């Protein structure tokens, strides 16, 4: 199954916070369910910026609506989501890039440690606990 590495807390927000757009600088023709890989790297500044963004957009009321930077799982698979389109524009409050992948139906999975890679990458089926 394919996976895409996404930095925290954005990966958590896809799984649990209603984030329906993954912003990218490139399009994809890929249109199936893929694994969400939470990237290993994340700074406190990135966590604060994401929290501030959510509050400014009216998506969350306080920074405590998502786990702290120390509590977010990183460096592995955290779930799967369906990619339904690749967009140039969107009315979603999550859209803020050059392009965006429209996502739906997130399904959290037990954490599976795994090294990430750029772009979509293949994950052996035996590594994923359903």
pLDDT band at 76 (very low <50, low <70, confident <90, very high): very high
Tell me the CATH number for domain 2-127.
2.30.130.30
Longest dimension (CA), the chain: 41
DSSP conformational letter for 75: S
pLDDT of residue 59: 78
pLDDT of residue 129: 64
What is the Cα–Cα distance from 70 to 73, expressed in whole angstroms? 8
Name residue, tokens 């859209």. 95
Q: How far is CA 50 from CA 44, 46, 57, 67, 85, in A?
A: 10, 6, 11, 12, 23
pLDDT digits (tens, 9 = 90+) for 11-67: 999 999 899 999 999 999 989 999 999 999 999 999 999 988 888 888 777 666 788
Average pLDDT, the chain: 91
pLDDT of residue 64: 63
| Residue 101 pLDDT > 70 | yes
pLDDT of residue 63: 62
């Amino acid at each position: 199954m394919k996976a895409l590495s996404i930095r925290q807390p954005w990966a958590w927000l896809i799984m649990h916070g209603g984030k329906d757009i993954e912003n990218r600088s490139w399009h994809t023709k890929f249109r199936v369910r893929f694994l969400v890989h939470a990237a290993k790297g994340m700074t406190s500044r990135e966590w604060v910026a994401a929290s501030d963004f959510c509050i400014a957009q009216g998506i969350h009321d306080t920074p405590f609506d998502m786990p702290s930077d120390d509590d977010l799982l990183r460096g592995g698979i955290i779930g799967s989501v369906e990619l339904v389109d690749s967009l140039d524009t969107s009315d979603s409050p999550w859209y803020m890039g050059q392009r965006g992948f429209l996502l739906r139906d997130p399904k959290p999975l037990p954490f599976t440690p795994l090294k990430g890679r750029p772009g979509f990458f293949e994950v052996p089926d035996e590594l994923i606990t359903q």
